[in-house]
Amino acid sequence: MSVYQLCFIFGGIGVYVLDHPKRLTRICGDLGAFLEAPELESIVSLAMNASSDWFCVYTGTDKRGNTVTRSRTSKGFGSRDIRQFLKKNGRRNCKAAFGSSPDEWLLYSSDDWMTSVAVSQTNEQLNEALHTVDDTGQTIKSVSLGINQSYVVLCTDGDYYYKVKMGYPELWDILDKSERGDVVYVALNPYRRNEFFVALANNQVHIRASALCEAHVVEVLSDYPQLDVITTELSNFSNNVAPTPQIPQTHRRKEYLQGIAKAAGGGVGTAVATTAMTMMCEVM
């Protein structure tokens, strides 16, 4: 398994999806049930927000057992303009990205895009980046929107455009030091500063999120020894009630989870940490 098979999506507070050969889902409701459906084989693209809007392109099986590519959209994300864009570009060829508020969104295909009024009027740099991609003949691979008009645009040729320094300084450091072709996948958390997921071509995965979310992801990806999962320092935990155990920043798997359990202490804290280990945590 390589980083090219990973897909991570932030939803509202405490909601995320990590798509990989063993899919990890921390979401309930209609989308959660859909993602757990047996006919869904893999996620091609997925976007969701805290207002229960979502758009998903996925591969699945038809009645004959053949693999097919389909798309589904939440009822709330289906205005006339959106339907026309999807029809024009082919639903299976389209992807979506959501920002911090319900009226911030972007629909795009490899060579076309459509932004909400809120995005087009406030995020001039994103619009310039998209036009640059178009003018240079590049094609869009993926787009992620974040807080304070932050964005990352990845192209199929390995190039990328970004504005993340104010909202995601650690991610800015990673992108600034990377070169063309290094960045495989990026997801910004549009609801919390400096929280993100990035996969690099050298099989490094950086996750910056809540302690329980990080533990959840580390536990799942520990099944893939070829991946180097790098998280935040344990000293950044906001709810520790005991001294922080000193655990190396990288290669933390079982030790990482044990550290969380120890730092959380007794009572409810231990219950939460134990729940994280069983893959059913509710992120705080």
Sheet with 16-19, edge to edge strand ranges? 7-10, 16-19, 24-26
Least confident range from 38-52, 91-105, 110-124, 242-256: namely 242-256
* Segments making up each domain of the chain, as ranges: 3-209, 210-284
Higher pLDDT, 252 or 183: 183
pLDDT single digits (tens) 191-247: 999 999 999 999 999 999 988 889 888 888 988 899 999 997 543 433 333 333 333
pLDDT single digits (tens) 174-188: 999 999 999 999 999
d(CA 243, CA 165): 31
Least confident range from 6-10, 68-72, 216-220: namely 68-72
**In this structure, what is the dihedral angle of CA atoms 107, 108, 114, 118, given to the nearest 10 degrees?**
50
113 touches 140 (CB < 8 A): yes
155 touches 139 (CB < 8 A): yes
pLDDT for position 114: 93
**In this structure, what is the dihedral angle of CA atoms 109, 115, 119, 123, given to the nearest 10 degrees?**
50
Sheet with 183-188, edge to edge strand ranges? 183-188, 196-200, 204-208, 228-230
Query: pTM, whole model, 2 decimals?
Result: 0.78
pLDDT for position 136: 92
pLDDT for position 61: 81
d(CA 88, CA 111): 12
Of the pLDDT bands very low, low, confident and very high (cuts 50, 70, 90), residue 249 is very low
